[in-house]
Amino acid sequence: MAKPIVCSHCNGVMQLYSGPRYNRKVAGFLIVAGVLATLFWIGAVLGVPLLLIGIYMSTAKRDLWVCKECNIGIERIELNPKTIAQE
């Protein structure tokens, strides 16, 4: 079993949290704006990218390590996972 990650501020145990990367309200606004813009012929040039960006923003996730004691979060990144697995 792996060692738990310890918080540098309060020495509490940190747990993994997966949540949204971007604000969901902004993503919803971009989706609605994209749909409304595609209703007009000239607006389709702007509407399709807005719609795609909004869909991406609503589905993107990020992983954080969050302390149970003090609620401090640290973003989780992986450094060359293929290289580490081969060693």
* pLDDT of 52: 93
As a whole number of Å, the end-to-end CA separation of the chain is 19
- Burial label, 86 (beta-carbon count in 10 A; 0-12, 13-18, 19+): exposed
Low-confidence ranges of the chain (pLDDT < 70): 1-2, 78, 80-87
Predicted model pTM: 0.64
Residue 51's CB is within 10 A of a number of other CB atoms, namely 20
